Chain A
Amino acid sequence: MRLKVHLIIFIYWFETLLFAAEAGMPQLDPKYWFSQSFWLILIFLLLYLLISKFFIPKIKDNLDDREKKIKDNLDEAKKLSELAERKNLDYENEISNAKKEVVKIITESKKQLDKNINQKKEQFEKELEKEIKNAEKEILDVKRDSSKSINLIAEEISAKIIEDITGNKLNDSSIKASVAEVSKNKMGKYLW
């Protein structure tokens, strides 16, 4: 039947191939075709099982692991850099605050110092004024005293001189009156 025809064709083809093999192409020698197919399928299957069950998951694990680690590290780095930035900002704020504080302290102490100095100055001036007043008063006293004593001295001297010259005593009251008159008129000329 048809099958037989096919078989004959196949065998014919086979023979041709055998001939070709003898002519120089060992690839067309069907002697070891089954053996080659068998071993190919066996070895390939084993290799496939080993690779798909063992090696590929491992390589994939390694790759995923690395990618994840790199990603994590990058995230961490980003977080840290943000943190650093924030910290930096904080420090800068602190520094500017401190600067402001320092300025404030300086102005305040300056003000305080000014105030102190003014106070001291005022006190000193007050004291000085008092001293001056005292001194003026003393001077005035001395002046008054001295003018009084001058009057006395002048009276006595006048009395003596008059007594010496005239030989008689003038009464004290008239001398006193003339001295007073002179001093009244001339004292300003001598003392102030």
Chain B
Amino acid sequence: MDDNNFKTRLRIAKREILKKDANENNKRGLFLGSAFRLGTELVAAVAVGTIIGFILDNWFDTKPWFIITFFFIGVIAGILNVVRVANNMQKEDK
């Protein structure tokens, strides 16, 4: 009846407020962020690695060695980054 209807509405409104208070910690927000990270993550790591190698080569006068080494380390770091982001995304899917 009318009274019952009112009570139901009151209960629903109360629950809404409570739900707002409770801090559910779902990490859905991470997903989109992760999706857009993949591409640049790899490139950035390679670039950083190469620049570090370049600087070290100049520092120690060992011309091509550091830059080559650090290029590959940069690639590994980039792949690691991508794997981490992908792992994060998979965690989201669960």
A-B contact count (CB 8 A): 25
Interface size of B by CB at 8 A reads 12
Determine whether the beta carbon of A78 is less than 8 Å from that of B10: yes
A9 within 8 A of B: yes
* Contact size range, A: 10 to 19
Determine whether the beta carbon of B58 is less than 8 Å from that of A74: no
Identify whether the interface residues of B are mostly helix, strand, loop, or mixed.
Answer: helix
- A74 to B13 alpha-carbon distance, docked (Å): 8
Determine whether the beta carbon of A67 is less than 8 Å from that of B20: yes
| Inter-chain contacts of B7 with A (CB < 8 A) | 81
Determine whether the beta carbon of B55 is less than 8 Å from that of A9: yes
B36 within 8 A of A: no
- A81 to B7 alpha-carbon distance, docked (Å): 8
Determine whether the beta carbon of A81 is less than 8 Å from that of B59: no
C-beta contact mask, A166-178 vs B, less than 8 Å → 1, else 0? 0000000000000
With both chains docked as a complex, state the minimum distance between the C-beta of A53 and any C-beta of chain B, in angstroms.
Answer: 26
| Inter-chain contacts of A74 with B (CB < 8 A) | 10, 13-14, 17
Identify which of A5, A9, A81 contacts B10 (C-beta below 8 A).
A81
Chain B residue at smallest Cβ distance from A2: B59
Determine whether the beta carbon of A5 is less than 8 Å from that of B17: no
- A2 to B13 alpha-carbon distance, docked (Å): 69
List chain A positions with a Cβ less than 8 A from chain B: 2, 5-6, 9, 67, 70-71, 74, 77-78, 81, 84
What are 16 inter-chain pairs, A to B, with CB distance below 8 A?
Answer: A2-B59, A5-B58, A5-B59, A9-B58, A67-B17, A67-B20, A71-B17, A74-B10, A74-B13, A74-B14, A74-B17, A77-B10, A78-B14, A81-B6, A81-B7, A84-B3
